[in-house]
Amino acid sequence: MSDKAEIVFFWIFAVPLMVSALGVVFARNPVYAALSLVTAFFFLAGIYILLTAHLIAFLQIMVYAGAIMVLFLFVVMLLSLSDAELGFDKITAVKWAGIAGAVGVFALVIRAIAEVPVQAMRPVASDFGTVKAIGRLLFTQYLLPFEATSVLLLVAIVGAVVVAKQKI
């Protein structure tokens, strides 16, 4: 694929990814936020495919968009928040600071993307994104963060069930 085609496909995936990520942040309903997150996962998988990381793209769709989001939606529906509980909050100074910070980070990312020429990108290793390479890294160098993530997800789900059980 030519460099110009890669740039076009990158923007085809990146713009909807950013829009759906903003949908996650600004959605008033948790179910809509979760569905926006699923959309963001699919567009992120498209960017992984552009990076020739087909295994990571496949895992992104199967694990995150499939299994993890089913669990998140289950927990959200278990909590069954009403519209009155969701309410509209005032925008405080801290929220304005967060918005300004997010805009600043977005501007930095756009500037960094614009300044890096396509020719400066390094070629990837021949086993990049393969099952063997991912497994080697995941179970050697990144074993502790992998296990910590699984424990964190388990604690979050148990906490949501405990909160929901008080309402039942």
Query: Which of 15, 71, 69 is CA-nearest to residue 43?
Result: 15
Q: Give the containing element (helix H, strand E) for 124.
A: none
* Three-class SS state of 22: helix
Residue with tokens 């179970």: 139
Q: Is the separation of the CB atoms in 53 and 129 below 8 Å?
A: yes
Instruction: Please tell me the least confidently modeled range out of 15-19, 67-71, 93-97, 149-153.
Output: 67-71
State which amino acid sits at residue 81: L
pLDDT higher than threshold 90 for residue 15? yes
User: Which CATH fold topology does 3-167 show?
Assistant: Four Helix Bundle (Hemerythrin (Met), subunit A) (1.20.120)
Q: 32 or 73: which carries more pLDDT confidence?
A: 32
Q: Note the pLDDT tens digit of each residue in 54-99.
A: 888 888 888 888 887 877 777 777 776 665 555 566 778 888 898 8
